[in-house]
Amino acid sequence: MNLSDNLNKAGSFTGKVFSDIGNLILLIVLNIIPIVNFIVLGYMAKIVRESPDEPPKLGDYGKLFVDGLLVLIALIIYAIIPSILLIAGVFMAGLGPFGISRFASPLALLAGGGLFIAGLILLFIFMIFGVMAIGNMIRSGMNFSKIFAFSENWELIKKVGLGNYLIWYIVIFIVALILGAIGSVIPWVGGAIAGVFVYLFVGKSLALLLDEVIGLPKLA
């Protein structure tokens, strides 16, 4: 896998969304609305599955919604254990919406911080496998059993090359983080806008990676 080529193609693909402003605005509006935004997650799955040359027009909303829901469930499965540690760390440290509680002790802060960091590390590790598992699920016609096909997903990672895959994963994580930080300037709406671009970029980049190890599914 040529990482530079992959990222350049994903970036070029993402930029093409501006050629259809109506489609872009609709994606953003859908992504703002809770639950309805599953459609946009399903749209990303469509990009991963079909690896189109440019962002497709929105349509078949029911299928996009169901696909998005399946992707979300898969993400939750891989993130649930790290998320428990993250939440436990926050509560143990006495953190809340208004900052650190004045009743929090230094020991509680230390223990909570340790749990939180452990959760982040676990989330990073779990999603190394989770991303490939979700990609495999999508390319297999949303076959949810692929989420648990650990040996098969590991073989796909080895086909990419563990080192290459980890570098790609870290770069994609950083790009998503940067776009998310930019979007956070405008609460909610900014996040929804940034989310659309993250889905486009990550979806196409993952699609290109899967093209090399799985290939495009045969259309009926």
pTM of the model: 0.86
Domain assignment of residue 172, yes or no: yes
Is residue 23 included in any domain, yes or no? yes
Domain count, the chain: 1
Percent of the chain with pLDDT strictly greater than 70: 90
What pLDDT, on a 0 to 100 scale, did the predictor assign at position 31?
Answer: 95
Q: Which residues span the domain enclosing 144? A: 3-213
What pLDDT is stored for residue 50 in this prediction?
A: 94
Residue 218 located in a structural domain: no
204 contacts 14 by C-beta, under 8 angstroms:
yes
State the Cα–Cα distance between residues 125 and 157, nearest whole angstrom: 13
**Residue 187: inside a domain, yes or no?**
yes
- Asked if the structure places residue 219 within a domain, the reply is no
* pLDDT tens profile 142-170: 999 999 999 999 999 999 999 999 999 99
Q: How high is the pLDDT of residue 112?
A: 78
Answer yes or no: is 177 within a domain: yes
Q: What confidence tens digit (pLDDT) does each residue in 25-61 have? A: 999 999 999 999 999 999 999 999 999 999 999 999 9
